[in-house]
Amino acid sequence: MRVHHIGYLVKRLARSEEAFAKLGYQVERAVKYDHVRDVNISFMKNGDYRVELIEPASKESPLYPLLKNYKNSPYHICYFAEDLEAARRKLESDGFMVIQDTQVAPALDGRNVIFMVSADIGIIELVEENPGGGDF
Ligand code: NI
């Protein structure tokens, strides 16, 4: 499956952007507030590599507790799925489990995403292909 991004959970998004910029990453999508998850999200790119920086906006964010385990580190890889439901069913039959069912992702132009987990490789995210084409 084609990779869309590597998701980093960060404590201070602006500072993480500065650190990635020093490694040659450029902001692809400026910070946007995701009201579904109460997080701030930006995307940065370095060649073909895209990182998603996710900063819990408050202690009420469902992602805030994850900072205990994943502070300033990658915690999921996101893959494109042509057919989200078909991809979910296929991966479920391969042993992956849904941890966050279909939900709109405002930072991904409102496309649907699903989060799944594998006992062997941790958390993955599936995102619908961009209906307008392109690699974002
Ligand atoms: Ni993501």
- Tell me: the pLDDT tens digits for 5-56? 999 999 999 999 999 999 999 999 999 999 989 999 999 999 999 999 999 9
What pLDDT band is residue 80 in, cutting at 50, 70 and 90?
very high
Q: Domains in the chain, start-ordered, CATH in brackets?
A: 3-128 (3.10.180.10)
| Cα 88 to chain centroid, rounded | 16
Calculate how far, in angstroms, residue 52's C-alpha sits from the geometric centre of ligand 1.
Answer: 6
Calculate how far, in angstroms, residue 74's C-alpha sits from the geometric centre of ligand 1.
Answer: 10
Calculate how far, in angstroms, residue 8's C-alpha sits from the geometric centre of ligand 1.
Answer: 8
> Measured between alpha carbons, how far is residue 93 from residues 21, 56, 88 in Å?
40, 32, 9
Strand pairing category for 73-81 and 3-9: antiparallel
What pLDDT band is residue 134 in, cutting at 50, 70 and 90?
confident
Calculate how far, in angstroms, residue 113's C-alpha sits from the geometric centre of ligand 1.
Answer: 9
R_g of the chain computed on alpha carbons: 14
- Structure token pair of residue 4: 């869309």
Calculate how far, in angstroms, residue 7's C-alpha sits from the geometric centre of ligand 1.
Answer: 5
Neighbours of 53 (CB within 10 A): 26
Mean pLDDT (the chain) is 96
Residue 133 confidence (pLDDT): 86
